[in-house]
Amino acid sequence: MRKVLSGFISLVLLTVVISACSGGNNGSSPSNNGQANTPENTASEQPKDGGSLIIGVASDPVILNPNYAGDRVSLTIDQALYAPLYQVNDGKKTFYLADSLTLSDDNLTYTLKLKSGLTWHDGQPLTADDVVFTIDKILDEKQNSFLRGNLIIGGKPVQAVKVDDTTVEFKLPQVSPAFEATLLQVFPIPKHIFESEANIEKSPKNNTPVGSGAFKFKEYKTGEYVTLERFDNYFGGKPHLDSITYRIAKDTNAANLALQNGEINVKYLDPQDVATIQATNNFEISPYSEGRLAYLMFNQNSDTGVLGKKEVRQALAYALNRDEIIKVAYSSGEYADPAKSFVTPDGLFHTNDVTTFDNDAAKAKELLQAAGVNGLKLRFIVQSGNKAQEAVSLYVQQKLKEIGVEVELQSMDSSAWVKKFIDQKAKDYEIAMTGYIMGYDPDAYSILFKSTGSSNYSHYVNKEVDTLFEQGTGEADATKRDAIYKQLQEIIASDAAIYPIAYTKTIVAVDKKYGGLDQAVLKPVVIFEDLSKLYLK
């Protein structure tokens, strides 16, 4: 799945990639008439058409193209611009562009039916050609989409074949229980816009995106805002709001003040800020589980080369105390549960019963000495204004000092931080606090931990891990898959590939003058699954 960068971050179950969310998400089942299902409107007031919504975001989007978006801000905006084939909530599909998805008796062919009469924002028809084009371009190595690895099964690519204008067959090279979760991440892009582009990721056409979602692109002013306007021909029905503006507010305190003043209507909150915002009595404040892991990433590709040694990573972990970090970052355990595994609790085969290294400074010093490491200096990159990262970085600096390791804190704005973090060639830092949301199928994590993984930002290499991920993706027997992924969780924990901190909750504040929150569905990474359902009361 795709990795998602956000604040203290979070590739995906991307909104998209995320299915089976809890805490505020309402389940829905496939529709008989092909329309997306949403919970019944329980609001006492009738929806009002018109008006605008301003959402506060922490940085500029990296790219407005769902085949390349991995940061939270880009994904949030893309969710309004581009419609998915379907979503999953509480294990049940909600169909969007798709009308149905069926699996053949031999489990090797998925048949996808699109709704009839779909159009892009520019009025051109959206058909099976666009779906096939999207899959082909993801698989094209020259296009450099990090989703590519999820469409390679057993070393061979999935084949997308057009049957007719509304029907696509996905032919799998081998049985893959994870494929439906993979398809969640596929947001079709328009063939007629991109077919002549040699490099889609670098195409200037991404600057004025043409999508199929509830809102269409209007204007982007770097460092200030992105504005979208209502798409009247949205297949799910004409949205209530006239426009959505994503206000870029890099300073957290200034953004909170703008929220209180009514200049921003929706914003993520740090736990430390909940009481202040709640005291205004103007906001619905909703904590909900995103299936998200917050962790420390060790960059083994740094120019020091020292974090390539397992014993050094274990030593750093021994110097820390997970419970203390949770208190420092989240004020209490109310918004975070201690994490030891790289798989989140909403994921299949999750276990927290794995090897861990905690709170033993003497053991940390012993490991560093055995590894021949003395006078170690590390660089910790921090997003300025991100209260969790800032607090944790100071804590880590102090705890590592106690074992003779010097930590330099490098603060930068959110946009610069994201660019550095996703730069696979970055060698000028060793530690970052980050996070991911990967969804319910653990095959998604392969892009993070396989040596060839497209989002292996830590540059972790273990050939046994590579082999087990290959076995897991093609294993149809649930008992055998369970054993494979339990083994993977233990190996990655023993290697101290990362330092898991917590399975966190996200807190979002929404101005009480807006209704339709239940119908819009709170969603990991992107706040709302379907913004067309929101309205002014």
In a domain, 319, yes or no: yes
pLDDT at 1: 39
- Reading the block at residue 351, the tokens are 């276990």
pLDDT at 456: 95
pLDDT at 3: 46
Distance between CA atoms of residues 456 and 146, nearest Å = 10
pLDDT at 28: 31
Contact in structure between 45 and 515 (CB atoms under 8 Å): yes
Distance between CA atoms of residues 484 and 128, nearest Å = 36
> Which residues lie across from 171 on neighbouring strands?
109, 159
Distance between CA atoms of residues 298 and 424, nearest Å = 13
In a domain, 122, yes or no: no
Strands (DSSP E) along 207-345, which ranges? 215-221, 225-230, 243-248, 266-269, 283-298, 336-338
Q: Which CATH number characterizes residue 341's domain?
A: 3.10.105.10
Closest C-alpha among 90, 103, 99, 91 to residue 126: 99
In a domain, 391, yes or no: yes
Per residue in 219-244, pLDDT tens? 999 999 999 999 999 999 999 999 99
Provide the domain count of the chain: 1
Sole residue written with tokens 């239940």: 518
3-state secondary structure of 235: coil
H or E segment at 421?
A: helix 414-422
Contact in structure between 373 and 306 (CB atoms under 8 Å): yes
Per residue in 80-126, pLDDT tens? 999 999 998 877 899 999 999 999 999 999 999 999 999 999 999 99
pLDDT at 323: 95
In a domain, 153, yes or no: no
In a domain, 329, yes or no: yes
In a domain, 443, yes or no: yes
3-state secondary structure of 59: coil
3-state secondary structure of 486: helix
pTM (2 d.p.): 0.76
pLDDT at 41: 43
In a domain, 375, yes or no: yes
| Angle at CA of residue 4, ends 181 and 168, nearest 5° | 35
Closest C-alpha among 426, 460, 428 to residue 446: 460
Under-50 pLDDT residues of the chain = 1-43
pLDDT at 414: 87
The CA dihedral of 422, 426, 432, 438, to the nearest 10 degrees, is 30
Query: What is the domain extent for residue 452?
Result: 290-505
Sole residue written with tokens 């389940």: 27
pLDDT at 26: 31
> Which residues lie across from 159 on neighbouring strands?
171
